[in-house]
Copies of this chain bind each other. A is one copy, B any other.
């Protein structure tokens, strides 16, 4: 393998080189287009301070565009012929353009090169997370509207508690994913700072146009301090992973609901057949594998958080340890986005069994309503509670009456869907 840093002397032997590489080049595929894009901005910046001639800059820009096209088309394969994606870019340019290629690394290090690619990736991932969260919230809002007054039991401790509605259940996840969209946006703002031009962590003796490069790449500000640029590696990954994890938590909870409600015993929900699979030994099975795998996405993100943060107990500055943050971050990003992309259709296509849900609302579930009614009539609540407890079956009511009477804002009688719709609009 050729290295950018070859300067004679001993190279790592093959076994060591394989250990050093690990799967790093493999992961660089997910960053490669970002890296190329940042390289084009870097080239333009060098031209503005006359470190490259206009011709050199144009040639480099064109070659970088060609490389992006070849990579996208699959004719350029990023594999372990290269130490990493950064080396692949410089070697490609040098092979095609000679001296101009040998100039592209002026004023930068792979340390800031990977950082800018990671920031671009993080922003893109957060944009997807934002969009998918909003799309999920929309699907849940639509479903909440459609089934607003369909009665189902409300549970606490997995025990039937009070009458509730499908609308309330669906609106819960709508609001959850609105929070996730807001969270994604806030993290995007936090990470929207350009590290390119900080070199190996100490800047360079060149008047780099960092502000212009940041602007060209769509960043809203420059990440000022070069050492902080390095120290932010891993930290930025953890900020991204935290946003992904919040949505993954909601996904896990929704998957749990579906897993439970689609048992034969509950029987509230039927999953569309195309979201299920069969058994290799039991001819009678249809299994909710999709829902179960949606439930595991949080585990991927949580594992990534620990993997990243465990590698980060280090003094300031770049260390090769930081390479260990790349795999888990990219793996978890992909897992979370792939899973979220399935949510809207899943929500839309759930089949409900209103009769099963209604039948599960047994008469004791009206007890709390009755105690509160007594309280409204002036009986101290704690006394009302005890009096109702003595005769749990005593009240006659219907699910519809109970749902309609539950008028505290957000409850079944007043779901607050318009507030949630307004917030969704504001978040777009």
Given the known interface contacts A158-B319, A411-B226, the answer about A381 and B283 at a Cβ–Cβ threshold of 8 Å is no
List the one stretch of A65-73, A123-131, A207-215 in contact with chain B.
A207-215
Chain B residues with CB below 8 A from A95, complex form:
none
Chain B residues in 8 Å Cβ range of A156: 111, 200-201, 230, 279, 282, 285, 287, 317-319
Interface code A385-428, partner B: CB below 8 Å = 1, 0 otherwise? 11011101000000000100111111111011001100000000
- Docked-complex contact B302 and A310, CB < 8 angstroms: yes
Q: Which of B283, B308, B316, B405 contacts A172 (CB 8 A)?
A: B316
CA distance A51 to B384 in the complex (A): 14
Among B6, B51, B175, the residue within 8 A (CB) of A228 is B175
Contact A238 B227, beta carbon cutoff 8 Å: no
Does A351 have its Cβ within 8 Å of any Cβ on chain B? no
23 cross-chain CB contacts under 8 A: A5-B285, A12-B274, A19-B342, A20-B277, A22-B293, A86-B280, A104-B381, A156-B318, A159-B264, A174-B225, A176-B232, A182-B190, A198-B410, A204-B411, A205-B369, A224-B420, A226-B410, A253-B312, A263-B265, A265-B266, A293-B321, A303-B308, A303-B310
Interface membership of A286, Cβ < 8 A: yes
A286: chain B residues within 8 A (beta carbon): 159
Copies in the complex: 4
Whether, in the assembled complex, A382 has its beta carbon less than 8 Å from a beta carbon of chain B, the answer is yes
Bound complex: CA A373 to CA B367 (Å): 52
As a 0/1 sequence over residues 213 to 254 of chain A, the CB contacts with chain B under 8 angstroms (1 = contact) are 000000000111111101110110011001001100110111
A278-B190 contact, Cβ under 8 Å, with A162-B202, A176-B231:
no
A81 within 8 A of B: no
Chain B residues lying within 8 Å of A355, measured Cβ to Cβ, are: none
